[in-house]
A and B are shown apart, each in its own frame.
Chain A
């Protein structure tokens, strides 16, 4: 297992380097001079030159790239152009909120999606299957800000069951949970729709296999066939999808944070975009990519746990 983990870790290095290169290119292909964009059209040439030196933009491109790579890999993401604070401390302050939301949505999605997907597969082409398929299709079709606003209108404004403002105190677990319910339900239901579809089709594929028929022919109870032989083999595609979906989840958290007025990475990124805070944007893109690479790594490692053949 240790060898497998090391191999996976090594495989993540080129991806990470390539992603960092792409971030560097994206920020540099923007038309216009970032220094003028920050200072405005009426800035004096001296001020523009001074800012260019401060940002390192007067260096040759390869030197800028080398500095950027060195800083990113050592966790130094620089300072915000607008506030002057270190980017890592700004991100660190809100990261627990984003992690709360991502994990809670993952939990809601899996707790609903996996059993419903199995149930639908076991009752293929019956009413419950059609209902599960239709509901999951509707769930997938809701842009998350639309479902978020609908949830807010019904549960926070009409029935007043949950708070509208989502800025939770991190030191108060109850407050944290109270303000997590609606955003996590909004994101989690979309995820549940996704997981339901994948679990259902994975289970259907597995239940058609010869070894399932053999197990049944040998007289193994149906419940045991489903849990021991079916579900275990259907788990791989489900884990793949959950892993892939976390990327979408992180993206969608931007919208959820806006709708529920929650602090988080998404809100920082929108603020940086509005203020054209280039260093913050660059830092956030790197952090997002680090998160995605880590999630992909965890997904790969989970494969190893589920299916011993992967480790070979």
Chain B
């Protein structure tokens, strides 16, 4: 259906705010302004996240220099002049590296949380649906996984497997599987007793069909809302592991890795630690604000309670 609308002339007009009739345009703008007025924190969060996504997508056009180009004569140049955020100990432009670093942070956060949702969510859903001793066993396994401090677990897994992008995503996903299993499990426990699930069983639907076609849509919003909050944690964990030296290998620009290099030069060039630190803060704060806002929107009881 949506494909029909988008390909028809009317649909194309509807898709582009610039071609909207004045009343409808007021509608879009008005709705945006209304949203900002009613949910300033969530709107600010969306803005901060959009800023980072914009930087990541358009880094090749926005960055004044190649992130790995070394300008040895200008090494440790303070902010200002040609180098807005200064240069590092290899003479690389800090602003360019921060713009490119956004790509790694977003890539690791999105892929690790997507993997954790897929694996953890399925475990939680199946566990609750099957119930009984199986559920008890699975949840005890999840509790064991939860009893490891997540940073220590991530640290050890990356160190043992070797620091690269894939292992980093695997380690962060592993730390988030147990929480998502718990988040997905709770609503399924009540859903599976509902009449429409029983009707599905009576009609002879397979368990897979009941779980993924009928149960999943009912728990998806809850899981996705927690996903946005957990993405903030994933960004923090990735930055922390990179800071310890277990992130994506240099010279690839990562915010945590830049903090590490800045920390080694903290006496000569304190700005090297400040800019990537602020970049991490902007993304994590943005994700937390959006996550809080989405949670409030899906659970009216939580409005203004956190």
Contacts and interface: CB of A to CB of B under 8 A. Distances in A.
B141 A18 contact: yes
B288 A293 contact: no
B156 A157 contact: no
B172 interface: no
A146 B255 CA distance: 11
B156, B236, B239, B305: residue with the most chain A Cβ atoms closer than 10 Å: B156
B55 interface: no
Nearest to A142: B281
A247 B305 CA distance: 25
B150 to A, nearest CB: 6
B266 interface: yes
B284 interface: yes
Contacts of A157: 266-267, 270
Interface string A19-63: 100100011001100000000000000000000000000000000
Contacts of B273: 149-150, 153
Given A153-B266, A153-B274, A259-B263, A204 B157 contact: no
Nearest to A276: B159
Given A124-B304, A137-B292, A146 B281 contact: yes
A150 B274 contact: yes
Given A150-B277, A201-B305, A248-B150, A26 B157 contact: yes
A137 B274 contact: no
Interface residues of B, number: 45
B305 A204 contact: yes
A137 B288 contact: yes
B154 to A, nearest CB: 9
A30 B160 contact: yes
Nearest to A130: B41
Contacts, number: 129
Contact of A250 (B149, B232, B244, B285): B149
Nearest to A295: B147
B247 to A, nearest CB: 12
B156 A281 contact: yes
B289 A269 contact: no
Contact of B244 (A26, A255, A293): A255
Contact of B147 (A15, A143, A150): A15
Nearest to A26: B156
Interface in A246-299: 247-248, 250-252, 254-255, 258-259, 269-270, 273-274, 281, 285, 288-289, 292-293, 296
B298 interface: no
A152 interface: yes
Interface string B96-116: 000000000000000000000
A141 B144 contact: no
A115 B41 CA distance: 24
B259 interface: yes
B140 A141 contact: no
A14 B137 CA distance: 12
B155 A273 contact: yes
B267 A285 contact: no
Contact of A141 (B149, B152, B246, B284): B284
B280 to A, nearest CB: 6
Interface string B148-182: 11111001110111000000000000000000000
29 contacts: A15-B143, A26-B156, A26-B157, A26-B160, A30-B161, A31-B161, A124-B304, A134-B41, A137-B288, A138-B285, A141-B285, A142-B284, A145-B240, A146-B239, A149-B277, A150-B274, A153-B270, A157-B267, A157-B270, A200-B305, A251-B150, A251-B151, A255-B240, A259-B263, A269-B152, A269-B155, A274-B245, A281-B156, A292-B147
8 tightest Cβ-Cβ pairs between the two chains A and B: A251-B149, A251-B151, A273-B159, A141-B285, A146-B277, A141-B284, A18-B144, A30-B160
